[in-house]
Amino acid sequence: MCIRDANLLLKLPLQYGKIKVSFDQLPNYLYDKRSNVNRGLLQFGSCQVSQLLKLSDLVIDYISCILCLFEDELSETVYNVLVDDLMLSVLNAICIYREVAIKTMETSYRSEDKDSHWSTSGVYIKKALGLLQYFKNCKITDDPTFLSILNNISVELKVVQQLGMVILVLSKLRNKIYRNTRDAVMDFHNEDINELSHSSMLYAKLVIGCKDQIAGLPRTSIINEQTHSYLEALALILLSMDQYQKDECGVAIGMINSAVNELSKIVPISKLNDSLLVKQKKTDKIKNMLKKRPSLESSNSSIIMKMTNSSPLPALLKNTLDDFVVPLTILLRYRYQQTNDNVSFKPIEKNVEVIHGLYPQGKVPQLDGTIWIFDNMVLKELNASNSSSNEVTNYY
C-alpha cells in the first residue's frame, strides 16, 4: 500500500488504486464517490484555486462516507481496505488545502490587496492542520508510518505558513524600494537602507525561524536543499542591513558575500558577480540590468537553475528571487562596498563562524488548526461559516 512508501510526501496527492475486495462488499455510491475523486486528482497539477476547492469537497465527502461505514459491522478485510483509503484521503485533502494556500500566496505577492490574500491562505493552512489533528485524535489506525507522515506534514504546514509571512515581508520591502516605479531603484541610497533596516532584524528572525523548522525534515516539494539556501541567503541579507545601520560595514559586506555564496547554489554565479559592480556609471548600469530583466509572466523568465541532484526552488519562493532578492543583493553589495571604500574602511569579515555567531534566535509564531467534527454522518469544521470572517483578519 502506498501509505508505507518512504517517499510519499514527494508524491502527494495520489490516486486510489484498485480496491481489493469484491464489488458487492461495498455500496455502489462509495465506488462512485471514489471514482469522482480519482478523476479530479488526474487534473491536480493544472487546477486553479476554485477547482482545487471543489476537489477538496469531493475528498471530504468521500471521507465522510468511509466514516459512516465504520459504524456498520465490517469484515476485517473490508475494514482494512477502508482504513487504507481513509489514510490516503486524509493526506490528499491536507495536500489540496496546502496547495490552495500556496497558490493564494503566489498570486498575492504582487497583488494590490496583499493582506486579504495572505489571510485567506492562512485559513486553508488552518483547515489542513485541523483535519490532521482530528485524525490523529481519532486513532482509527495506529500505523506508525501514517502517524509519522502526519507529524511531518504538520511541521511542513507551519513552514508554509511561515514562508507566507516571509513572502509578505518581501512584498512590502519591494514596495518600499520600487515605490511603484523601476526608476526609483537608481536612487537607492543610505537612507533607504536605514529605513529598511528598522524592521530587518524582526524579519530576519522570521526567516531564521522558518529555516530552523525545516532542518532535519524529510524532503518534500516545499522543503529541499534550494529552499534552505534561499532562506539562509535571505537571513544574511536582512541581517546585513542591520549591521550596516550599526556602522559595521565590514560585517555587512561579509554577510552579503555569504548570501551570494548561498544564492550561487540556486542561480548562475554570473547573475550575482556581475561586472556592473566594478565598472563606471554603476547605478545606471544596475538600472538597465533591472529594466532588461525578463518579466515573471514569460515562460523563460526565471534565472533559476535546476541544480544536479537537487529539487528546484518552489514557485512560491522562485517568484521573489529574480524579481527582488537578486537585484536587492546586488544593490546592497555595491552600496556597502562603496561606503566601506570611501567612508568606513572596516576590515571585511570572512569568518563564517563569526557571522553565524551574530544570528539572533529565530521566531516561530504559533498556529492552531480549526476544529473538525463528524456530525450527522458528515465530516465538517465546527463553526466553519465563521472561520473566514473571524479568523482571516487575525492570521498574520
* Contact (CB, 8 A) for 231 and 212: no
Encode the chain (396 residues) as per-residue pLDDT tens digits.
455 565 677 778 889 999 888 888 999 999 999 999 999 999 998 999 999 999 999 999 999 999 999 989 899 999 999 999 999 999 999 999 999 999 988 887 766 666 667 788 889 999 999 999 999 998 888 888 888 888 889 988 988 888 888 888 888 777 777 655 554 444 555 556 666 677 889 889 999 999 998 887 888 878 889 999 999 999 999 999 999 999 999 999 999 999 999 999 998 887 777 544 444 444 444 445 444 444 433 333 333 334 434 568 888 888 888 788 998 898 899 889 999 999 989 999 999 999 999 999 998 878 889 999 999 999 999 875 444 434 333 333
Q: What is the pLDDT of residue 190?
A: 59
Q: Tell me the DSSP string of 357-371.
A: TTPPPP------PPP
Q: What is the pLDDT of residue 285?
A: 46
Domain boundaries, the chain: 2-142+367-394, 162-356
Q: What is the pLDDT of residue 148?
A: 86
Closest CA to 232 of 334, 352, 121: 352
Q: What is the distance between the alpha carbons of residues 163 and 154, in angstroms, rounded to a whole number?
A: 14
Find the helix packing angle between 225-245 and 144-178, rounded to 10°: 40
